[in-house]
Amino acid sequence: MKKRKKLVLIISLVILLIILILIGLFIEFNERNINNKEIELVSSLIETQEELESKFKTKGYTIDEPNIILNPYGNSPLTALILFETNSRVSPTVTIKGKDEHSTFTHTFGKDKKHYLSIYGLYADYENEVIIEYKEGKKEIKKTITIKTDKLPDNMILPTSVKADKTALSNELYFYTPSSIGYTCAYDVNGDVRWYLTNYALWKIDRLENGHLLVSTERLVNSPYYMTGLYEMDLLGKIYMEYSLEGGYHHDYYEMGNGNLLIASDDFNNDDGTVEDYIIELDRVSGNVVKTFDLKDILNMRDGQSENWTTYDWFHNNSVWYDKDTNSITLSGRHQDAVINIDYDTGDLNWIIGDPTNWSEEYQKYFFEPIGDGEFEWQWSQHAAMITPEGYVFILDNGNNKSKIEEEYVAAENSYTRGVMYKIDTKEMTIEQVWEYGKDRGSEFYSPYISDVDYITENHYIVHSGGIVYVDGKNSNQPAGLSNGTTTLVSDTVELLNDRVIFELILPTNNYRVEKMSLYVDGEQLKLGEANRIGTLGKTEIDDKKITPIIECKNSKKFLEIAEEHDITFTKEVDRLVVKGRFKRGTNVNVILYQNMFSNYYNVKISKKPYTALCVDVFTEEGNEKGINVTKYINKDDLYGKYSIYLEIDGTIYNTGKYVEY
């Protein structure tokens, strides 16, 4: 018994000693980090708009002395809010005066006593005349208000040429998204800028069934151009929803009949390290991914290779289209010169449009046989594939090389881009070319990348050659981001009605897509309140996890010098920690998050990715004598509480003097 008591006493003392040691370690850790500074949260557009809306007051304002707020959300400078109250419920009509009837806009708002009138389509650097009319009782009210706007930014892109047959045009606007310099903006039929966003929105721009715009976020989830997700917003710049995606968003989306979104995304964790070959369906209520399509399970990655094919970007999907009549999804694989169609329920391959050269025997049955008396050409490096209401396949044929055989390549100066429409018979597996535009324009209309087609109504289309590139005065076969030499960019948008050009706008830049849309939609009404965030960026993989009671970092005092040398910055966003720096290839860098004796190691890859077909060139990784710009995103999922931040560079650990808390 005495031995047992003695053993129990020894064990108790050991436990007590361990506890005291742990307490001492925690005290030492806290003392060491007591002067650490918390990384403050950077306000996003959503947090900012909550603050702004608190100042949207109607009380005390009348139609004679309204509350006028220019650029109410701080990101849409050619918009305004007019706020006032009336004694009874009235339905105001606003008219934004333009230079002619084709640039004047009118909208009637719903009945209310408190009025939040969204004013769109103001001219920049201009005394804009806005007329408000309504009937209150027997009294007819008409008030003219003048709104003075600021100048356009110095780097706003203005047209070099505008041709408009106004007898055939309405007052809709042409909404553009940039691929190089420029803004997400809209031009009227006169070529005047009537709307633009200051937050950088890429890829597709379109309206949802509820009237809101759907555009990309301005944040990257991975280089060079994969965005964190999508914003649902109005033209004022008010965000109603943010959809976050673990695999990010690029190029295109499609709103399905049930409201869900089919989105071109990525699976960054796939074993092959591929990109732009993954489609998701997002539930817009829950934010959950309810369906996925991995093209590696559908196609042979090494088939149908074009000049731009690489092992990691083998398909390069740039469009998504759902057809309810056939319950199928049409996709555009630029790097295989292939438009493919898959069954929505099973993901099985239905057909392929394109030259069958370089495709395996097992896939030959999915290709069509050309028929018809007219001219026929396959499409090359295409974009924006869709199914028209007539059942035709409508494609922007970029026209790169016009062959898969290198010896038969057509040079850029002899090439052309066109909109083309095919009629297909999936029973007989035949294809007929029924319409085209652009071939007769020759190389002046040649875009080796990006670009778009839009179907407005039958025989009424838009063909957008948005990526025309000249290098040293000659047509280039490469995107702007990959061209060397003196580069000149052109974007040429043509609207056709019954094969007649009724509008053409030329810009000295490259633009990804164009959408023709009205400025207002029926039922347009600002809704105040907090934006909803759904979806997730996912968990960031921990490369190593160590038990480290105290992190030894004798060089902590040198971190300021290290930070300056490597341009190191830390940013806390609402859903992640962003670490940026510049390092030379071969440097071993880890971000270390320390909490309660455990250290999470996140490796920072120092490499410049050799993207072969950049659709935008604003996010390319630059390097100089200091090395390559790199970014590490550490998502907050799985992070709880306070973490001290350390940085390990080639085996030496530095205390950054900062902590982050989630």
Annotate 70-100 with DSSP letters as a single string. Answer: ESTTSS-TT-EEEEEEEEEEE--EEEE--SS
pLDDT at 623: 58
Domain presence at residue 19: no
Whether 485 and 550 map to the same domain: the answer is no
What residues form DSSP beta bridges with 147?
128
Q: Which of 458, 491, 524 is the last residue of a domain?
A: 491
Whether 304 and 402 map to the same domain: the answer is yes
pLDDT at 31: 45
pLDDT at 36: 81
Q: Choose between 556 and 361: higher pLDDT.
A: 361
Confidence of residue 304 (pLDDT cuts 50, 70, 90): very high
**Is residue 219 scored above 70 in pLDDT?**
yes
CA distance 328 to 633: 35
Give the pLDDT confidence of 146-172 residue by residue, as tens digits. 999 999 999 999 999 999 999 999 999
Confidence of residue 8 (pLDDT cuts 50, 70, 90): low
The mean-pLDDT minimum among 193-197, 198-202, 266-270, 447-451 falls in 198-202
Whether 485 and 413 map to the same domain: the answer is yes
Domain presence at residue 46: no
Whether 574 and 484 map to the same domain: the answer is no
Confidence of residue 4 (pLDDT cuts 50, 70, 90): low
Domain presence at residue 546: yes
Confidence of residue 399 (pLDDT cuts 50, 70, 90): very high
- The answer to whether 511 touches 466, Cβ cutoff 8 Å, is yes
Considering the chain, what percentage of its residues have pLDDT values greater than 70?
A: 92
Number of domains making up the chain? 3
pTM as predicted: 0.93
Whether 562 and 477 map to the same domain: the answer is no
For the stretch 548-567, what's the b/e string if a residue is b when 16 or more beta carbons lie within 10 angstroms of its beta carbon?
eeebebeebeebeebbeebe
Give the pLDDT confidence of 107-124 residue by residue, as tens digits. 999 999 999 999 999 999
> Residues 438-464: what's their mean pLDDT?
98
> Residues 402-412: what's their mean pLDDT?
96
φ, ψ at 309 (rounded to 5°): -65, 135
- Say how many C-beta atoms besides its own lie within 10 A of residue 80's C-beta: 23
- Say how many C-beta atoms besides its own lie within 10 A of residue 577's C-beta: 23
Domain presence at residue 252: no
Whether 305 and 432 map to the same domain: the answer is yes
Q: Count CA within 13 A, CB hemisphere, residue 569.
A: 11
> Residues 435-464: what's their mean pLDDT?
98
pLDDT at 243: 98
Give the pLDDT confidence of 416-438 residue by residue, as tens digits. 999 999 999 999 999 999 999 99
Whether 372 and 450 map to the same domain: the answer is yes
Alpha helix positions (H), 547-652: 559-566
- Say how many C-beta atoms besides its own lie within 10 A of residue 474's C-beta: 13
φ, ψ at 557 (rounded to 5°): -70, -20
Whether 302 and 445 map to the same domain: the answer is yes
Domain presence at residue 5: no
Domain presence at residue 137: yes
Whether 555 and 652 map to the same domain: the answer is yes
Report how far apart, in Å, the C-alpha atoms of 338 and of each of 279, 357, 365, 419, 439 are: 16, 11, 14, 15, 20
- The answer to whether 223 touches 213, Cβ cutoff 8 Å, is no
pLDDT at 180: 73
Report how far apart, in Å, the C-alpha atoms of 570 and of each of 168, 567, 591, 632 are: 54, 10, 11, 10
Confidence of residue 617 (pLDDT cuts 50, 70, 90): low
**Is residue 328 scored above 50 in pLDDT?**
yes
The chain-wide mean pLDDT, for the chain, equals 93
Whether 469 and 372 map to the same domain: the answer is yes
Whether 325 and 472 map to the same domain: the answer is yes
CA distance 9 to 19: 15
- Expressed as residue numbers, the domain containing 457 is 298-491
DSSP 152: P
Domain presence at residue 310: yes
Whether 313 and 452 map to the same domain: the answer is yes
**Is residue 3 scored above 90 in pLDDT?**
no
Domain presence at residue 343: yes
Q: Hey, what are 340's tokens?
A: 């493919």
**Is residue 373 scored above 60 in pLDDT?**
yes
Confidence of residue 607 (pLDDT cuts 50, 70, 90): confident
Q: Which of 148, 175, 208 is the last residue of a domain?
A: 148
Q: Which of 491, 519, 552 is the last residue of a domain?
A: 491
The mean-pLDDT minimum among 7-16, 166-175, 648-657 falls in 7-16
CATH assignment at residue 616? 2.60.40
CATH assignment at residue 135? 2.60.40.3100
